[in-house]
Each structure stands twice: as structure tokens, then as C-alpha cells.
Structure 1
Amino acid sequence: MPVGDESVSVRVATPADLDGVLAVQRRSPGRSFSGEFRDDATRAIKDPSRLFVVAVGAGGMVGWAATKHFAEADGQAPSGHYLMGITVAPESRRRGVARRLIEARLDWIRERAGYAYYFTNVRNIASIALHDSLGFREIARARQFRDVPFDGGTGILFSLDLNGRTTTD
């Protein structure tokens, strides 16, 4: 799919993609590229209950995104598949790459579940607007979800009905 000036494809990540994922992280201010991040990404790529995708353009990797399944509810956060982590390199932002990464994960989740979940900091206006445009609806606010605390104190949890129903489970 053409995205901005380049053609970008989204595909399932392999362990060979880790250096590219780390390069995207390094180019993205405020993003971790630590050994812990690398270990977490390695586990996610190898875990069949998760999806880890990468966006690749003519110049190399421009983004990545992952899912995670939680078998148990945690406070206000229901059990289910969550969109967990996404980074698009600064030079590729506002070109549709994040939308493509989200849609790839939603397609994968749709084959496994009726709902997808996502949470973010209340101040992450761009992410909230993008997910809203895809049909996500707010279901809760809290200081943390799934042991992830929010800088500034408030996070928002969203759900998306992947089958077109009007209520959540």
C-alpha cells in the first residue's frame, strides 16, 4: 500500500527483524531500546498467542506493533486480546503506517475473539483519535491498567466490538 512517498508492507515479524525494530525505537524520542525491550520483543515474536508485526518500506523498517492476550480480567480491564505497543519512526508518521499496523492486528484478533482492547495515557490525543476513527469506545479510566501506570495519572481503556454488536461481554 502506498504510504506517503513510499510503498509500505505490513507482515508478521521474525527474530531477524529485531535489529530493525530496535532501530525504529532508537529513532523515536522517548522510546526504549534497552536489553529488556529487546528481550520482551523476542518473547512476543516467538509467542503463538501474540502477534508482532512490522511495517517495511523501501528504506527499511518504519514501524512495529504487537498484541498480547490476557486470560484473566484485572480490575476494570477485561480478559482478552489487547493492542500492546506500537512505534512508527518519526519520518514515517502521519502517512497511514500506524493505521495499517492497527488494522493488521485487528484482523488477526478478529479470527480469535469478538473484542479487542487498547489503553493509553489520556494525554495521547493522536492515538486516541486514530483508535476512535477505527471504532474503539472508552470503557474505563484509571491510574493504571494491567500494571502499566500512566504518566500524569490517568489512562483510558477502550474496546472495539469486532462483530458489530452494540454491547461488550
Structure 2
Amino acid sequence: MFSIQRLEPRDHQEVRELSRSLGRHSAPEFFDAGACLLAAKDANGALIGWAKAQWWEPEDPIAPDGYYLCGVEVHAAWQGRGVATALGLARLRWIAQRAKTAWCVVNARNTASLALQRSLGFTLMARASGFGTVEFTGAEGVLLRRHVEDLAPGSGMENDE
């Protein structure tokens, strides 16, 4: 059992530790304060995952300005248990309060992320070696889109998980 809540500054050290355990280097102290910053916590209040979504202006001829899902990490022991999906749905609901479309950029080799985005209803819009400031050295990236009107408040779907 886990819950989704706002990521607070007191969670930053746990985010850094989780990220390091996954071989990554997330720096939550630099996350945009206006972004959707979420924490997944177990029944004891320990951080088991985090995610963010934010407005991005990629200055790219293909990728549009908009709200993007732009980071998710889940503790290895909790992977495959719905944490990333719950964090994704919560971020999509947040975006639905602000826009009609959500975007995501993913490395085409990241099959786990692509499967997650497909399960959340994203569809392929474009492939490129980079979008905005995101470059895929030695790989290709994909630009994904999902319309989020069905998750907007009052749609009848906003609490459906």
C-alpha cells in the first residue's frame, strides 16, 4: 500500500538517495517550484518514488511548448507494483487542470518508460535525435502526446484509477 502526495523539501534527501540507488543523479533542490512535484510513500511514510511534470518551452520545430511529464523514479523493490502508473495518472490530472494536452519525451531504448506511457494513453507524434535541450546521443528519442480532457475536473473520470 502506498499514497501519492506533494513532494516537500523535507523529502529531498530521500529523493537523492533513491536516485543514487538507481544509478541516477536527481537534484530536487533544482526542481521548478511551480512544477507538479509528487512523492509516493509507503504505509510507514518512507519515500518509494517521485515524479514531476512541468511547463516546458523546448524552442524546437517539432516539440511544442506545453506541459510535459519529465521525471519519475521508483525504488527497485516497488517497481512493477503500480507506483509509476499512479504517479503518472496524478501528473496527468494536474496537467488536465491547466491544459488539454500532455507531452512526454522518451529515449526510444527505454522500453519500460515507453510501456508506461502507452499504458497512460500516450501516442507517438515524432522521432528525432533530440527535442529542445534533450539530446539522445547514439539513440533516438520519441515525442509522445496524450489528450487529457477526460481527466479534467468535472469529466467524471478524475478519480478513476
TM-score scaled by length of structure 1: 0.82
**Deviation of 1:77 (Å):** 0.6
Amino acid paired to 1:163: E
Structure 1 equivalent of residue 85 of structure 2: 99
**Deviation of 1:73 (Å):** 4.6
Alpha-carbon distance change, 146 to 72 in structure 1, aligned in 2, over 3 angstroms: closer
CA distance in 2, matches of 1:83, 1:19: 22
**Deviation of 1:146 (Å):** 2.3
Report if aligned partners of 2:58, 2:131 keep a CA contact under 8 Å in 1. no
Aligned-partner SS, 1:65: strand
Is 1:23 matched up with 2:17?
Answer: yes
Is 1:51 matched up with 2:44?
Answer: no
Gaps of 5+ in 2: 151-161
Aligned residue runs from structure 1 range 83-122, under 5 A = 83-122=69-108
CA distance in 2, matches of 1:137, 1:63: 24
| 1:52-80 per-position Cα deviation (integer Å, ceiling 9, x unaligned) | 10100035111111112024652211110
Amino acid paired to 2:69: L
TM-score scaled by length of structure 2: 0.86
Amino acid paired to 1:52: L
Amino acid paired to 2:63: A
Aligned-partner SS, 1:68: strand
Gaps of 5+ in 1: 1-6, 165-169
Is 1:79 matched up with 2:65?
Answer: yes
